[in-house]
Amino acid sequence: MNGRRVYVSGVGAVSPYGLGALPLREALFTGRSAIGPIRGFDASRFATRIGGEVPPLPLEEHFDERELGWISKLAAHGVIAARLALEDAGWSDPDGIERAGVIFGTGFGSLAESGPHFVRWAEIGDAAARTMTIPVLMLNAPAAQMAMQLGLKGPALTVATACSSGSDAVGQAFREIRSGAREVMLAGGGEHALTELMLLSWSRLRVLSRRNDDPEGASRPFDADRDGLVLSDAVVLLLLESEDHLARRGGRALAEVAGYASNCDASHLTAPDEASERGAMLAALADARLAPSDIDLVCAHGTSTRRNDATEGRALRAVFANGAPFPHVAGLKSMTGHPMGASGAIGIAAAAYALEAGVVPPTINLARLDPECPIPAPSPRAVASDLRAAMVNAFAFGGHNAVIALRRAGRS
């Protein structure tokens, strides 16, 4: 191994399934869709009127009243998810956490929440610029709020690589621990982007599904009849610990983070590149000292768009074209929709759960595999399997590719 071993020891989530890791885990392995009609605002004028919304969450139950004006919904959900990750890990040392750091990945930060600020400006003029506008909307605010609320005095960093942000955040935190710089890190990603402005802007790109009459069946990774992605909101944080630290405090490991790689195709803002995706996967395997034949599960990026799924399918076929059995492939966004900055963190959590339980998560809504996606058809139901290692893909606008490799805890 190249440095210290790193383990996932806890997961915290604020997702369309509710608060905490357990609702997320149960939904992902029972094949429950998070998608429904948008209720947070009037979406009737939009061509797409569905999404994965986080249920209303009374923030006054989680924060002091004086704090509410200084915290965005994304940052608030980040703090809650971070607390839940520590709780899930059985963390009981209030003083020891101060040496930890946090790395948060997000595509848009609280930018999506800026719409009402501009509307208010148009209505009342310069008086709309309030004291807390900048502290609330600045991109680093969620990471800063997590650090302040939990007392984390290590690095508090923000990673913005679009839909690979969560994976890059976990990868960078993994490197912090593997190198010996830190013992404990919180890392993951989040998005609060189901707003009128964001829905309109994504619609203009013509990448959203319009299956408004069938919300739960709208997100269809690798299906021949897929018609686009479905936006959703979520924040997922993982607690990462060195092997020694985990042993000293008597914690439990869900899975080992074994390798990470990221690259950029440097060619197009929105079109995926097969060679770069393949390169990122092979580099992550090399970093983990794993061969393609060691991988039993791939949590695919699988956005349910025509070009992205076909490109990823070809890249996967190229990586696993060595004659070894093709790994199981899971398209998690069939259930969660696309939570952008949170998607990689959800994939890593799902892969860790899969390795721990020996169960492959299902891919719902796959009626007929697209011949342009040359992978084995993912299973519509959870499948028991002896899983040794897994790979999680996150491929994003801007040509950003991030891949995380994980091992089952206890494997050498």
- As annotated, the active-site residues are 163, 301, 338
Residue 168, both tokens: 């890059």
For residues 283 and 242, is the Cβ–Cβ distance under 8 A? no
What angle, 0 to 180 degrees and rounded to 10, lies between the N-to-C axes of helices 343-357 and 21-30?
70
Backbone angles phi, psi at 166, to 5 degrees: -65, -40
Single-letter code of the amino acid located at 39? R
- Residue 233, C-beta contacts closer than 8 angstroms, at least 6 positions apart: 15, 16, 51, 52, 53, 54, 191, 192, 193, 194, 339, 342
Helix/strand/coil for 108: coil
Please state the length of the chain: 412
Question: How is residue 232 written in tokens?
Answer: 């959703």
Q: Provide the strand spans (E) within 265-374.
A: 297-299, 328-330, 359-360
Three-class SS string for 146-164? HHHHHCCCCCEEEECCHHH
What does DSSP say about strands 184-191 and 234-242: parallel, antiparallel, or unpaired?
antiparallel
Question: Parallel, antiparallel, or unpaired for β 297-299 and 328-330?
Answer: parallel
Nearest-Å Rg of the Cα atoms of the chain is 20
